[in-house]
Amino acid sequence: MSWFSDWKEKRAKKKAEKAATAAAAPAKKEAAASSAPAAAKGAKAPEFIADSPIDGYVPGLGAPPGGKINIAIYWAAACGGCDVSLLDTDEKVLNIGDMSNILMWPIATDGKEKDIEALEDGEITVAMINGAIRNSENEHMARLLRKKSQILVSYGACACLGGTPALANLVPGGVNEIKDYVYGVTPTSANFIADGGRKLEDVMPRPEYNAPEGTLTLPVLYDTVKTVDQVVDVDYYIPGCPPTQKSIAALLDALVGFVYRGEALPPKGTTVGVIPKSLCEECHRHKENRRITEVFEPHEVLNIDHDLCLLDQGILCLGAGTIAGCGAPCTKADQPCRGCYGPPKPVSEQGSSIFTAIASLFPIEANDAKMNEDDMDDIMSVIKDPLGYFYAFSMSKSLIKRAVNEGGQ
Amino acid sequence: MAEFEPKIVAFCCNWCSYAGADGAGVARMQMPTNFRIIRTMCSARVDPEHVLRAFSKGADGVLVLGCHPADCHYIGGNYRARRRIALLRMVLEQYGFDPKRMKLEWVSASEGEKFQKTVIEFVDTIKALGPNPVCSKEA
Ligand code: SF4
Ligand code: SF4
Ligand code: SF4
Ligand code: FES
């Protein structure tokens, strides 16, 4: 653990140095703090330790020359996995602490909405939003953080593509149908209503409630779940469910370069951590003729061949319609790619692009010319739930974003 | 209210169906004018994305027309197309569309009459179904 004692030493030295300069020039620091990133330009680079033991982690980084930057992390309609991926950064989280004041991070710190509201516009350097926009509160917070931040990052599959929450768009009756089911039909709710002699209205949440103490409000759910960039302007995207440590390190490296050395940030709109080709190129499996006649769930295939393309084994893998960069952890673990990184750049619709490719892998039959379209329906019906499967992550970004009702409303 | 006049997008493959449509026109066969033809080199060039885009932009119905099985200029294009269209039909049904809003039909270069019949029938079908449900509701 020599790097650790090294790190402690450096850290102590840095601290002493800092105290000395702070005492010598308190006025200078104050002036710099108000425009941290700009002031960082031309500032002396800190000493980077060449053999940093953890990829992306810089021991003894210390505060940026222009003072700490402000960051905020918010969860919208999220599962918490994205926040955990940020907590999972191990030592790198210390660099985040060196570099910044975390003004808001619901999973880990105490910052509240009113604290953000009290800030000047642009006072936050980087805000990261994970999760989809599922209700009015999500949208309000996204707009608020956009207003207060210089850089806004859409973090994770839900924020970038809609992700799992956006599958709610496929409920034909929208929010009302979902609420009726959750509060009226699920056994716990139904029993609760029946046991207490209650009515559905008694348990149904209402967006406004007049209590003796005043009016209480709840966020309003949306019928159509949206991505972050469908409600506010986004600067960077980090895909993944959740994003990989490699992507986080890439963002952190860019930020460290920016705040400590005044280096240019990647161009606006950059998707961090991707490689502009399809996942199949990153996947270690070799491809044979890839003809599908039967479809299996991974658990139905005993002895999955670890080196053969999963499509060759009848397991529907979305790699061909997914952008590379994650390192294909899923196919390494004998699981198909579910497409969490989103489509490769030129592709606008991930779902249709992948099911088009997969439909083409069904072989032509000897008597194809004599078959009719009903026979085709039979052949293709081995694929269950194509909409849910091929659009599992990208519903908010698809061409048709929600269920439709024939014959008017 | 005036009668509903549907907007229909018809993808026609260059080698058979487009020629068939041309034949119908040259022979001055009467048919409704609700459709706009998009010529593709083969029915297999019709990506399901094109059909979804047509629906998302307000088309009330989509026709995909190609060479008869075994007649595709590129040998197997229509065999690919019919599989994709079958899967797309499942997807459209899951969205809640009436699957009759999209039709795959084989029309050869000499089948002007079949082209006419297909268009007439399809326009009737779509008129009965009413307007595209995507436009009526978008949150
Ligand atoms: S992207 Fe995945 S990990 Fe992140 S919030 Fe959505 S479901 Fe959870
Ligand atoms: S389809 Fe899936 S298993 Fe096959 S090569 Fe592509 S990513 Fe790998
Ligand atoms: S293999 Fe596919 S599902 Fe798995 S992490 Fe990569 S993009 Fe996501
Ligand atoms: S060329 Fe007509 S279907 Fe292929």
What chain A holds in terms of domains, given with CATH numbers, is 51-162+227-261 (3.40.50.700), 173-220 (no CATH), 275-397 (no CATH)
Rounded CA-CA distance A159/A237 in Å is 9
Rounded CA-CA distance A24/A19 in Å is 9
Number of the ligand 3 atom closest to the C-alpha atom of A323: 7
**Nearest Cα residue in chain A from B98:** A406
Number of the ligand 2 atom closest to the C-alpha atom of A312: 4
Residue A37 confidence (pLDDT) above 90:
no
Would you call B90 and A359 a contact, using CB atoms and an 8 Å cutoff? no
Would you call A379 and B137 a contact, using CB atoms and an 8 Å cutoff? no
Distance from residue A318's CA to the centre of ligand 2 (Å): 7
Would you call B91 and A407 a contact, using CB atoms and an 8 Å cutoff? no
Would you call B82 and A376 a contact, using CB atoms and an 8 Å cutoff? yes
For residue A51, what pLDDT is reported?
Answer: 47
- A58 CB less than 6 Å from ligand 2? no
| Range 69-88 of B in CB contact (< 8 A) with A | 69-70, 76, 79-80, 82-88
ipTM value for the complex: 0.92
Question: What is the tens place of the pLDDT at every residue in A336-361?
Answer: 999 999 999 889 899 999 999 999 99
Would you call B52 and A400 a contact, using CB atoms and an 8 Å cutoff? yes
For residue A62, what pLDDT is reported?
Answer: 84
Q: Global pTM?
A: 0.86
Distance from residue A335's CA to the centre of ligand 3 (Å): 9
Residues with Cβ within 8 Å of B49's Cβ and at least 6 positions away in sequence, in order, are A348, A349, A352, A353, A356, A399
| Ranges A100-104, A395-399, A404-408, B87-91: which has the least confidence | A404-408
Residues with CB under 6 A from ligand 1: A 78-79, 81-82, 130-131, 156-158, 163-164, 241-242
Closest ligand to Cα A328 = 3
Rounded CA-CA distance A323/A342 in Å is 6
Distance from residue B122's CA to the centre of ligand 4 (Å): 21
Find chain B residues with C-beta within 8 A of A368's C-beta. 69-70, 79
Number of the ligand 4 atom closest to the C-alpha atom of B43: 3
Q: What is the DSSP letter of A204?
A: S
Would you call A399 and B91 a contact, using CB atoms and an 8 Å cutoff? no
Closest ligand to Cα B16 = 4
Q: What is the largest CA-CA distance in chain B?
A: 48
Rounded CA-CA distance A324/A276 in Å is 7
For residue A408, what pLDDT is reported?
Answer: 62
Shortest CA distance to A393 belongs to which of A311, A326, A334, A333?
A: A326
Model confidence band, residue A96 (pLDDT cutoffs 50, 70, 90) = confident
For residue A97, what pLDDT is reported?
Answer: 87
Rounded CA-CA distance A179/A135 in Å is 13
Using CB atoms within 10 Å of the CB of residue B60, give its burial: 0 to 12 exposed, 13 to 18 middle, 19+ buried: buried
| Ranges A54-68, A153-167, B68-82, B115-129: which has the least confidence | A54-68
- A354 CB less than 6 Å from ligand 2? no
What does the domain layout of chain B look like in residue ranges?
Answer: 22-133
In chain B, what is the straight-line distance between the N-terminal and C-terminal CA atoms, in Å?
Answer: 26
Find chain B residues with C-beta within 8 A of A379's C-beta. 83, 86
Residue owning the nearest CA to atom 2 of ligand 4 = B67
Shortest CA distance to A224 belongs to which of A287, A288, A136?
A: A136
Distance from residue A304's CA to the centre of ligand 2 (Å): 13
Q: Compute the average pLDDT of residues A138-164.
A: 97
**Nearest Cα residue in chain A from B136:** A408
Model confidence band, residue B100 (pLDDT cutoffs 50, 70, 90) = very high
Rounded CA-CA distance A379/A362 in Å is 9
Which tokens sit at A265? Answer: 């940030």
Residues with CB under 6 A from ligand 4: B 13, 15-16, 42-44, 66-67, 72-74, 77-78
Distance from residue A302's CA to the centre of ligand 4 (Å): 40
Would you call A376 and B69 a contact, using CB atoms and an 8 Å cutoff? no
- A243 CB less than 6 Å from ligand 2? no
| Ranges A5-9, A296-300, A342-346, A388-392: which has the least confidence | A5-9
Model confidence band, residue A9 (pLDDT cutoffs 50, 70, 90) = low
Residue A242 phi, psi dihedral angles, 5° rounding: -85, 175
Residue A42 confidence (pLDDT) above 50:
no
Question: What is the tens place of the pLDDT at every residue in B66-92?
Answer: 999 999 999 999 999 999 999 999 999
What does each C-alpha distance from A63 to A22, A40, A257, A296 come to in angstroms?
12, 11, 13, 53
Rounded CA-CA distance A226/A135 in Å is 9
> Which of B47, B68, B96 is closest, CB to CB, to A404?
B96
β partners of residue A127:
A72, A152
Closest ligand to Cα B73 = 4
- Top pLDDT among A186 and A23 is at A186
Beta strands in A45-96 (DSSP E): 69-75
